[in-house]
Structure 1
Amino acid sequence: MTEHTIITIGRQFGSGGHEIGNRLAERLDIPLYDHNLIRMAAKELKVSDEEASRVDETILGKFLSAYVVGTGDYTAFMGTDVYGTPLSDRMYETQTGIIKKLADRSSCIFVGRCADYVLGDYSNCINVFIYSYKEDRIRRISNIYKLTEKQAWDKIKKVDKERKLYYEAHTGREWGSAESHEMVFNVSLMGVDSVVDALEAIYRTWEGRK
């Protein structure tokens, strides 16, 4: 258990959660861990970043492990090790260990990866969930990925479904609920800057209690 403050951010795809995390990390001068956790876990598992990214925040490996690829050799299971453990499960377990080590080291921000659940025994965590209205999410994803509105909405639904399944499979909690994440912010109503301001104020209040 540590005294420094940790922030975990769950987010809908296209809500601006990652941008909020980045801005907050810069303002507070603390590290942010998101996609870099994939590289850390891949290194520990001795797999490529591409393999690790394929199952990151999905439960894809659980389904792939039910099928034999090729000759029926269990070592040929796509996404599994020699014991048939899906890569997605190994990624989750490895990232869990990394998240706890990083949280013990210093104040930081985690985006996704069930960090609120992983650090459930830590009393110094600010756990938030970021969401926004459909139209705003479509606009953001269309601009970022240069997609049509339909393509953007299809991508949003796909990623959200994967994140929801991943979170609920590992935690038994409802993804996006206030009960699971403690604080929920609507970016469409507040704007990115106001959410960052609010989280900065909460963080500094928590730090000031020491």
Structure 2
Amino acid sequence: MAGHKIITIGRQFGSGGHEIGNMLATRLDIPLYDNNLVRMAAEKLDIREETARAVDETTLNSFLTGYVIAPMEYRDSIRSDEYTQPLNEQVYELQAEIIRKLAGRGPCVIVGRCASYILKDTPKCLDVFICAELEDRIQRIADRYDLSEKKAADKIKRIDRERKYYYESHTGLEWGSPLSHQLLLNVSRLGMKETSDVLEMMYRGE
């Protein structure tokens, strides 16, 4: 694994983190893993992708948090009273396993899913957290989802709270803290292209 590099991106909702990840993956000609991790986990658990997506990056106030299923390969052999993990934990652990395998295969960009923590002992892994000013985030989300500024602000508050809880409950670290990440970049100060430029430069070692 020492021969290639990985970039993990944590992000505030509406900060442009996914767009930056996509831009980087395109420039560097390496895979981007984000929502496709949900599909991979759903396939392994033999559940609907929509069900896995309902607990992806959120364990806060989810009715599926306590919903338990057995891993597919064990379903025929266990008794109904045997303990099985809550669905959100199964999705998280499977995504963690998938993330490690993908990181071992070659260079890539991974967005969210506690990838920075999962790969914390991986050599040549650049861990960045993307943030932006609230006003810019509200405008971006309002435009993207055709929402009023009030509804966009409410959506940002809810999803940030869910991501924070998800990250902190699985890592024991503070989400978005400089103590939890190698690098924090403010897109509002730098700009989208310039943020991508910085990360590309660091990746290439220039």
SS in 1 for 2:180: helix
Alignment length, in residue pairs? 194
Structure 1 residue 81 corresponds to structure 2 residue 69? yes
| TM-score scaled by length of structure 1 | 0.89
User: 2:163 matched to which residue of 1?
Assistant: 163
In 2, distance between residues paired with 1:7 and 1:116? 8
In 2, distance between residues paired with 1:60 and 1:137? 22
* Matched ranges for 1:51-66 at <5 A: 51-60=51-60
Q: CA deviation at 1:117?
A: 0.3
- Kindly provide the CA deviation profile for residues 89-126 of structure 1, in whole angstroms up to 9, marking residues without a partner as x: 00000000000000000000000000000001112100
In 1, distance between residues paired with 2:121 and 2:16? 27
Q: CA deviation at 1:64?
A: 5.0
In 1, distance between residues paired with 2:39 and 2:58? 16
Percent identity over the alignment?
57
In 1, distance between residues paired with 2:27 and 2:64? 41
In 1, distance between residues paired with 2:117 and 2:35? 18
Contact 2:59 2:65 in 1 (8 A): no
Q: CA deviation at 1:190?
A: 0.4
Moved segments of 4+, more than 6 Å: none
Q: CA deviation at 1:81?
A: 1.5
Structure 1 residue 148 corresponds to structure 2 residue 148? yes
The RMSD of aligned alpha carbons is: 1.5
| TM-score scaled by length of structure 2 | 0.90
SS in 2 for 1:109: strand
* Matched ranges for 1:1-210 at <5 A: 1-60=1-60, 79-81=67-69, 83-205=83-205
Structure 1 unaligned spans of 5+: 67-78
Q: CA deviation at 1:19?
A: 0.4
In 2, distance between residues paired with 1:122 and 1:59? 26
Change (3 A) 1:62 1:159: closer
Q: CA deviation at 1:80?
A: 1.2
Change (3 A) 1:21 1:65: closer
In 1, distance between residues paired with 2:30 and 2:65? 38
Q: CA deviation at 1:60?
A: 4.5
Contact 1:62 1:89 in 2 (8 A): no
